[in-house]
Structure 1
Amino acid sequence: MPYLTCNLLQNWQHGFFTQQFDPRSPEELVQVLQPHAQVYRVQQVHSNRVVMPEEMGEEEQADGIITQESHQSVWVASADCTPILMGDVITGRVGAVHAGWRGTAKGIVKKAIAFFLSGGSLIENIRIALGPAISGTVYQVSEEVAAEVCAGLSTLETLQQLSHSPILDDPKPGKVRLDVRRVIYLQLEQIGITSAQITCAPYCTYQQDQYFFSYRRAQQKKVQWSGIVSKINP
C-alpha cells in the first residue's frame, strides 16, 4: 500500500504513511510530499497542547501543530491513536494533531479548531481527515475511561442509544469498546463542523497488521507518520 491521501485535503501535499515507510523520518518523508518544505514535529505527550512553529523550542511537548506560513510541513506519529490532518481551503493554513483517548478527553481537536478560528479562519472553510487508528470494534477500555473520553458529549447510556454509537458492548464486566474516532467526529459536529467537512480513513491499525504498526497488538513502540504541507494563499 502506498501512503494514504484524502480528497478533502486535495489542496495540499499530504500523506498518512504506512509501516512500509519505516524507519524513514519526517525529514525524509517530506521529500515525497514537497522537497525543501520545513519540517516541524513535537514530542507527543497525550496532551491538549497545540503550538505554532515559531513558538516551538527543541523537543517541544505538545500534540498539535498549526502553521502560519507557506512551505511548513507539520507531522504527528501514531500507532493506535488517531492522526488528524486539517486545513483551511481559503487561507491555506494547515494543522496536524495526535489524538489518543487522553487527548480526546481533553478536547485537543476542539482546541486545534479554536487556533484556526483565532487566526481568522471561518469554521465552514476547515477540512479535516481522521487517519488510520484502532477501531471501536477491538478497542477495549474501562467504563471509567470511556466516560472520561465522552464526558463532553453525554452519558455512556445515552451515547449507546445512538445509531452510530462510539460505545460498543464488551463481554467483560466493567469494560466497553470505544470508538475514539467517532467521539472526535461528534466533538467536531458539536462545534459546528458538518459531516461534509470531515472524512475518516476506513482502516484499523490493530486489525490490519500488513499495513500498520499497533502498540496494543505488538506492544512495541513503532509508529507511522502523517504530515501535511501548508500553502498560504495571498
Structure 2
Amino acid sequence: MTLEIITADTLSPLRHGFFTRKGGASSGVFAGLNCGPGSSDQREIVSINRTRVAQAMEVPLEALITVSQVHSPRVVTVTGPLSEPRPEADALVTREPGLALSVLTADCQPVLFADVEAGVIGAAHAGWRGAQGGVLEETVDAMIALGASRDGIRAVIGPTISQRAYEVGPEFFEEFLAEDQGNTRFFAGGEGDRMQFDLPAYGLHRLRAAGVEAEWTRHCTYSDPERFYSFRRTTHQREADYGRLISAIRL
C-alpha cells in the first residue's frame, strides 16, 4: 500500500510530511505505519516502516533523526546522525542539508517549522505539557540561534486530537487557569464537571504569541482510526498498545 503523506503549502518547497498510518508493515493493533521503537511492536517491523519513511524523505535511515521524547521543552540542535542512546528532548532544529528531523505522536501535536530563506528547519512534539512548558517557543529560539528570523519562520501543526475528543477534568482546567486567566478560551463545557480542551488552538496561540505564522492541518487523530493512531482512543478501547505516527521535514 502506498504511504499517505499530508503536506502544507506554507512549508513548500521543502520536503516534509505528516505521515498517516497507511502504507506500513505492522499488523494487529499497530496495523499500518507504526514508527515508534518504544511500542511493543516487532522491532524489525518498526525498522521497515521507518525505512519506508526515510525513502519517502529521500534520506538514508540514519539521517531520519528522532529523539527520546519526554514531554519537555528541551530542544536538540542537530548537526549529523545521533548515536544511541538518543538524547531526551522533544524538539530538534538544524541547518544541515540531508537530515530529516522527525517527531512521533499519537494525539499530541506534531509541529514542523521552516525558515526557507534562512535554510533552518525544526520539528517539535507538543502535547499539553510540552506546549505549556514552552517547547514551541524554545524551538523558535533555537532556530533563530541558527540564523532564522522570527518573521521568516512558518509553523504547521499536523494531525492531533481535536477539542471534541479531548475531555479533561477540573484539575486540568484549574492548572491552565492558574497560568493565564485568558486560557478559558481553550475550554468548552462537557458533561458534569468535565470540559473539552482545544489543544491545537492552544498551540496556535503559543506560536502566534511568539511572533510566528502558524496553521493547523485540521486533522483529528482520535476520530479517524483508519488514518491515525490515537493514545486516547486506544485507552478507551482497552487495547494493549498503540502505534506512533511520524512527521518529518528536511532541507
TM-score bin (small chain): 0.7 to 0.9
**SS, match of residue 32 in structure 1:** helix
Residue in 2 that maps onto 1:67: 94
Q: Please, what TM-score do these two structures have when normalized by structure 1?
A: 0.86
Residue in 2 that maps onto 1:83: 110
Select which of 166, 174, 177 maps to 2:186: 166
Structure 1's unaligned 5+ residue stretches are none
Residue in 1 that maps onto 2:175: 148
1:29 aligns with 2:53: yes
1:75-114 maps to which residues of 2 (within 5 A)? 75-114=102-141
Shift of 1:68: 2.7
* Structure 1 stretches of at least 4 aligned residues deviating more than 6 Å after TM superposition: none
Measured against aligned partners, the alpha-carbon deviations of 1:35-93 in whole angstroms (never above 9, x if no partner) come to: 34822101111111110124955221111010131111011011100101111121121
Contact 1:105 1:150 in 2 (8 A): no
CA gap of 1:168–1:215, structure 2 versus 1, over 3 A, is same
C-alpha distance in 2, partners of 1:131/1:150?
26
Shift of 1:147: 4.0
Residue in 2 that maps onto 1:177: 196
1:44 aligns with 2:69: yes
Shift of 1:182: 0.7
Contact 1:213 1:224 in 2 (8 A): yes
State the number of aligned residues.
219
The structure, 1 or 2, with the larger RCO (C-alpha pairs under 8 Å, 6+ apart) is 1
Contact 2:59 2:98 in 1 (8 A): no
C-alpha distance in 2, partners of 1:130/1:12?
16
C-alpha distance in 1, partners of 2:109/2:95?
23
Root-mean-square deviation (Å): 2.0
Shift of 1:214: 0.6
Letter in 1 for 2:78: P
Q: Please, what TM-score do these two structures have when normalized by structure 2?
A: 0.81
Structure 2's unaligned 5+ residue stretches are 25-32, 35-47, 236-240
C-alpha distance in 2, partners of 1:5/1:166?
26
